[in-house]
């Protein structure tokens, strides 16, 4: 059974963004062209970004690593949020008056995966980890995911500084 329904009522506005705007911790929805046999099938995914552009030395292209909200419950996402806190999604988006929260990801995306995501995918979010060829992602929409007041919210410019109250 899809766990996406546990998240939908906490979705606020959606904003079109490019793949280059994505940063770890963002909640997004996008269309993905998936090859099924000889046919190409478009599917819509709703995910939390772990690493928007990852390439191992043996890879020929970038991959986007994410946690599918279809398989990870709201409780699982909130467990991560309680550990990391939340902040403004991307300061470059503020210029476009896009004010959306995301989970705080300190350090490299690999550290975020090892410290927070690996526990999620072996527990409450089992089966939720997804890898996508970045070049096949289309129509990206950033979701204003509503976190409860109990989640610490930090000013993006003074991360680790003063807590800012959520408006929820």
Is residue 117 within 8 Å of residue 67, measured between CB atoms? Answer: yes
The C-alpha atoms of residue 95 and residue 111 are separated, in whole angstroms, by 29
30, part of any domain: yes
- 63 inside domain: yes
For residue 152, the number of C-alpha atoms closer than 13 Å in the C-beta half-sphere is 14
Structural domain count of the chain: 1
Whether 167 is in a domain gets the answer no
Q: Which domain holds residue 89?
A: 5-148
Average pLDDT over residues 51-62: 91
pLDDT tens sequence across 11-41: 998 989 999 989 888 899 999 988 888 888 8
User: pLDDT tier at 156 (50, 70, 90 boundaries)?
Assistant: low
Assess contact for 89 and 76: CB atoms under 8 A.
no
Residue 161 lies in a domain: no
Average pLDDT over residues 66-83: 89
154 is a domain residue: no
Q: Is residue 48 part of a domain?
A: yes
100 within a domain of the structure (yes/no): yes
Give this prediction's pTM: 0.80
- Whether 109 maps to a domain, the answer reads yes
3-state SS assignment for residue 9 = coil
Contact 24, 36 (CB under 8 A): no
């Amino acid at each position: 059974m899809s766990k996406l329904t546990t998240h939908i009522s906490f979705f606020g506005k959606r904003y079109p963004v490019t793949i280059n705007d994505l940063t770890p911790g963002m909640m997004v929805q996008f269309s993905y062209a998936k090859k099924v046999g000889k046919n190409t099938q478009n599917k819509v995914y709703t995910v939390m970004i772990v690493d928007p552009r990852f390439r191992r030395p043996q890879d020929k292209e970038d991959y986007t690593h994410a946690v599918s909200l279809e398989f990870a419950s709201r409780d699982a996402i909130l467990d991560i949020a309680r550990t990391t806190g939340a902040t403004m999604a991307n300061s470059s988006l503020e210029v476009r008056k896009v004010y959306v929260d995301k989970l705080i990801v300190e350090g490299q995306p690999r550290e975020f995966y090892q410290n927070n995501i690996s526990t999620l995918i072996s527990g409450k979010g089992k089966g939720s980890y997804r890898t996508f060829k970045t070049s096949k992602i289309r129509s990206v929409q950033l979701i204003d995911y509503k976190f409860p007041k109990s989640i610490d919210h930090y000013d993006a410019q003074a991360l680790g500084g003063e807590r800012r109250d959520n408006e929820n």
